[in-house]
Structure 1
Amino acid sequence: MNQLPAADGFLALPDENLADYKTAKYVIQQVPYEHTSSYLEGSAKGPAAIVSASHFVEFYDEELDMESYRSGGIVTMEEMDFTSKVDEEAMVLIDEETSKHINAGKYVVSLGAEHTVTNGFVRAHKRKYPEMAVLQIDAHSDLRESYHDNIYSHASVMKRVHDMKVPLVQIGIRAQCKEESELMKSSDIINTFYAHKIRKDTKWMDKAIACLPKHVYLSIDADGFDPSIMPAVGTAEPNGLFWSETLEFLRRVFAEREVIGFDVLECAPIEGSILSEFTLAKLVYRLIGYHSIKH
């Protein structure tokens, strides 16, 4: 997989030396895999849209009082090619590409289409961090055994994670089926913080972080946010998370645990609007900043 020129990559960095694979600490993967969308389609365009929007994000982060990209550099890879690859073959490709970066000592940030791709990311990170957990920000549980007869559906991705015996902490859930609810009640490795409950619990952040082990892989579905700030998603749900509360929580997670990698997924761009992709680009840069101040 080739890297993009600095001017075309995340943030359109002004210095090629800070956007070169050999020296950069952070690798941005673009993973436009979309095969099982169940409502609105278009998430395959999400990764490129986020990268494009990032060209208008300020280098200076006012919260962190720093230009985070200078802490190690950020290189952006070309989009993965899923021609003739679906389901398990696609997951193997994602696992292989992610593992290459991990083995090269990079911190991997993945921009994905449908949530299915987290399956491959988790496989790769679990190999290095066997005691890891997944922190999922999402409107949906994604714990169905299968959906439309496909175990690789975006609606089943966290069931596949559960099958790997990886503990799961879910934040902002507000849509699920009875099958998922029953699994969550019976499993001792799933901790779910429903959107309607965290609104009434001032200690929810403390409780959620207490459920996490040292090593955490973070997976963010764009529909975890409220549609008022994140309209460009496949299946929007009301009563979502907002910017300030989410960033307050994630800053604590990065500070109190080791976030070993993260993904941002399920942005389906809306023609004539850049609200969602710009917000996600700023989110990615802020999270890189949270990681860099600790490392």
Structure 2
Amino acid sequence: MVVPYGYEGGVSYGRGTAGAPADVIAASHYLELYDEVLDDEPCRVGIATVVQPEIPDTPDAMLASLEETTAALLDQEKFVVVIGGDHSITTGYVRALAKRHNHFGVLQLDAHADLRDSYAGSALSHACTMARIREITDRTLQIGIRSMSVEEARLAKSTDLSLCTMHRYRRGHFDLEAELARLPENLFITVDVDVFDWSVIASTGTPEPGGMLWDEAMEILETVFHSKTVIGFDVVELSHRESDPNSAFATAKLIYKMIGMRFIGREKAP
């Protein structure tokens, strides 16, 4: 079940995330249904999109609203995909999962560490998402990071966080399978599209150079979906831009592929 949730009250730089879910849904109508890697059509598992709920203006109310929305779908035993919206929304979904799973981990694909306890006077900024998530579960893995404060870097080192920078990843100094083995079987994935190189997705509020290429991301995700039981995911931080339909299309294809990996790819895993 796909939940569009175009909140952008937690952004700190570029805007446009409010319009992103509609862009992704519109682009999804033009995706080819057949996936050449899976040799199947992910749509056959059944994909439905709910009407975007009314989104409150305040961060606390927003999180409560998204928690309630995702919880209601989880109660119906739906697999929920949330399309953001800025990254601050993720905490609401994770809160709902925490009431249904005693033990789960979170994988973050992102250019930013998002470990600040507070940013610009708010503990619910998109720059604080992983700090809030780690208050719910400390079993986390962060991949693709290439922008963080000195305080975040020191925190990661002092607490031995599983955090892989793009610099480290590109030099082959990261064992994904070993890191996944440290995580629980149940895993939630949050994808901030600024993890990607601009040649893949350019329209995002806090862009960083040097991101993942498409095939790099697909290789990581295939390994994750084969290794773990993914209990949900969100894709956040796309920005609406009239001049860039490519980014919305790439995001729609990313979501479609992840759904395929979850339900069809796992069936075909060796």
Q: How much identity, in percent, do the aligned residues show?
A: 37
Which residue of 2 is the match for residue 87 of structure 1? 59
Alignment equivalent of 1:43, drawn from 10, 14, 17: 17
The answer to whether residue 130 in structure 2 is matched with residue 153 in structure 1 is: no
Q: Is the 8 A contact 2:105 2:137 kept in 1?
A: no
Farther-moved stretch of structure 1 (204-213 vs 132-141): 204-213
Q: Distance in 2 between matches of 1:240 and 1:31?
A: 25
Task: After TM superposition, list the pairs within 5 Å mapping 1:13-162 onto structure 2.
Answer: 27-71=1-45, 73-83=46-56, 85-162=57-134
Indicate if the aligned counterparts of 2:104 and 2:137 stay in contact, CA closer than 8 A: no
Q: Which residue of 2 aligns with 1:19?
A: none
Give the aligned residue type for 1:232: S
Match for residue 168 of structure 1? 140
Q: Tell me the SS of whatever aligns to 1:163.
A: coil
Choose between structure 1 and 2 for higher RCO, CA contacts under 8 A separated by at least 6 residues. Answer: 2
Conserved in 2, the CA contact under 8 Å of 1:193 and 1:208?
no
* Residue number in structure 2 paired with 1:248: 219
The answer to whether the 8 A contact 1:110-1:262 is kept is yes
Match of 2:156 in 1: 184
Question: Secondary structure at the residue paired with 1:60?
Answer: coil
Kindly indicate whether the alpha-carbon contact (under 8 Å) linking 1:32 and 1:80 is maintained by their aligned counterparts in 2. no
Instruction: Give me the whole-angstrom Cα distance separating, in 1, the residues matched to 2:253 and 2:69.
Output: 25
The answer to whether 1:236 aligns with 2:212 is: no
Q: Quick one: which amino acid aligns to residue 7 of structure 2? A: Y
Higher strand share: 1
Distance 1:110 1:231 in 2: 20
Residue 178 of structure 2 is aligned to residue 207 of structure 1: yes
TM-score, normalising length: structure 1: 0.87
Shift of 1:203: 5.0
| Counterpart position of 2:260 | 289
- Distance in 2 (CA, whole Å) between partners of 1:225 and 1:165 is 25
C-alpha separation between the residues in 2 aligned to 1:174 and 1:202? 15
Counterpart contact for 2:145–2:165, Cα < 8 Å:
yes
Q: CA deviation at 1:202?
A: 6.3
Range 125-134 or range 278-287, more displaced: 125-134
Quote the RMSD (CA, aligned, Å).
Answer: 1.3
| Contact 2:18–2:240 (8 Å) recurs in 1 | no
Matched, 1:219 2:190: yes
Structure-2-length-normalised TM-score: 0.95
Report the Cα distance in structure 2 between the residues aligned to 1:144 and 1:46, rounded to whole angstroms: 25
Q: Which residue number in structure 2 is paired with residue 15 of structure 1?
A: none
Counterpart amino acid of residue 95 in structure 1: E
- Which AA in structure 2 matches 1:182? R
CA 182–81 in structure 1, closer or farther in 2 if over 3 Å, else same? same
SS at structure 1 position matched to 2:257: helix
User: Where does the alignment leave 5 or more consecutive residues of structure 2 unmatched?
Assistant: none
CA deviation map 1:38-73 (0-9, x unaligned): 1110011111111111011011111111111112x1
Local SS of the residue matching 1:66: coil
Distance 1:200 1:224 in 2: 17
Runs of 4+ in 1 over 4 A off after TM superposition: none
What do residues 116-137 of structure 1 show as CA deviations (whole Å, max 9, x unaligned)? 0000011011111121111000
Give the letter for the 1:229 counterpart. V
Q: Provide the rounded CA distance (Å) in 2 between the counterparts of 1:242 and 1:178.
A: 26
Residue 17 of structure 2 aligns to which amino acid in structure 1? Answer: S
